[in-house]
Amino acid sequence: MRKLIVLIAAVALLVTAASSLAVTTRNVKIGDDFFSPTSMTVRKNDTVKWRWTGDSLHTVTVSKGPVKFSSTAKRTGTYSKKMTRTGTYRILCSIHPDTQKMRIVVR
């Protein structure tokens, strides 16, 4: 009986640990000349999903970071990226680079 209790406790601990390591999706809103939020920290292997809400064309473009990526220019829809490399990413809209910027830290 004691072994069964220890086994159940061990399984419960493993399930709790595994759920805390689960990857998540973080959302970013793209409006006319802004990202919201402008800064976020995510875990390695989390996904960031940008959703267009404005009327103008915008992109999601890494200007500096461990991995470069870029979305197509669009007015509607979404763009998702799984963040597989740790580090700091500077992201901007290539159409509005002076006003539309954000930072993502991947740990």
Residue 29 domain-assigned?
yes
Domain containing residue 80? 24-106
Residue 4 has a pLDDT of: 55
Residue 36 domain-assigned?
yes
Residue 29 in contact with residue 48, Cβ under 8 Å? no
> In what order do the strands lie in the sheet containing 78-82?
34-36, 25-31, 47-52, 78-82
Residue 12 domain-assigned?
no
Pairing of strands 25-31, 34-36: antiparallel
Residue 5 has a pLDDT of: 57
Residue 14 domain-assigned?
no
Residue 55 has a pLDDT of: 95
Which two structure tokens, joined as six digits, stand for 55?
């009327």
Tens place of pLDDT for every residue, the chain, 107 residues? 676 555 465 555 555 445 456 889 999 999 999 999 999 999 999 999 999 999 999 999 999 999 999 999 999 999 999 999 999 999 999 999 999 999 999 99
Residue 74 domain-assigned?
yes
Identity of the residue numbered 58: H
Residue 19 domain-assigned?
no
Q: What is the CATH number of the domain that holds 100?
A: 2.60.40.420
Residue 19 has a pLDDT of: 47
Residue 11 domain-assigned?
no
Tally of domains within the chain: 1
